Structure 1
Amino acid sequence: MNIQIFGTKKCFDTKKAIRYFKERNIKAQFIDLKEKDLSMGELRSIKQAVGGIDNLIDPDAKDKDALALIKYIGEDAKDINLIENPQILKTPIVRNGKQATVGYQPDTWKKWE
């Protein structure tokens, strides 16, 4: 199992996800989205695994301008906009190879073990 957790150090659900894997002695790599952006390949892989870009966007994100912009731009520009504005992503994004989840989803992660 090759677990990657994308999120921020301040996100409560991201902290819970890190703790979930640590408690089960499952190695997980944490990627802080404030320090390192998702690559286009990572974003596309995650987007496909979770069923589209709309499942990645946090409707309660604080950056209302970026949130509004992403609703009205073309599909091609949405990926670039998400990479440039990770604060509107719903976190944590937990990836295991081609599988991925958005948010705290321990029931799904149990199936990966």
Structure 2
Amino acid sequence: MTDKKNPALNNICMLIGRNFISDAVGNQVPQETQDEVFCGEIAITEKEFYDAAQSGIRPETAIIVNSMDYDGQEKVSFQGIVYSVLRRYPRVDEFTELYLQRK
């Protein structure tokens, strides 16, 4: 785990998004994109976990990435598991926290 205040991006994750491309007849076809980026795993506090549970959400892990690397992707592959992004928190220090739930 890395410290939220002074994060160390010492892990690698895959940010999985979707772009649309035109096929031969001009139809917009979704295409999955994968961007490998550095990240750090951060702890989910008891309060964050409890508040999420009140809304029926169960975050399993949280990571921090450089804000320049994150472009609204809805899925993340981290340590061999694909997660959905439940919540994102862009910070003022050029990092973004992503709270994840297993797909």
Q: After TM superposition, is the score higher than 0.5?
A: no
TM-score by structure 2 length? 0.23
Larger radius of gyration: 2
The structure with the largest helix share of the pair is: 1
The structure with the largest strand share of the pair is: 2
Higher relative contact order (CA 8 A, sep 6+): 1
TM-score by structure 1 length? 0.22
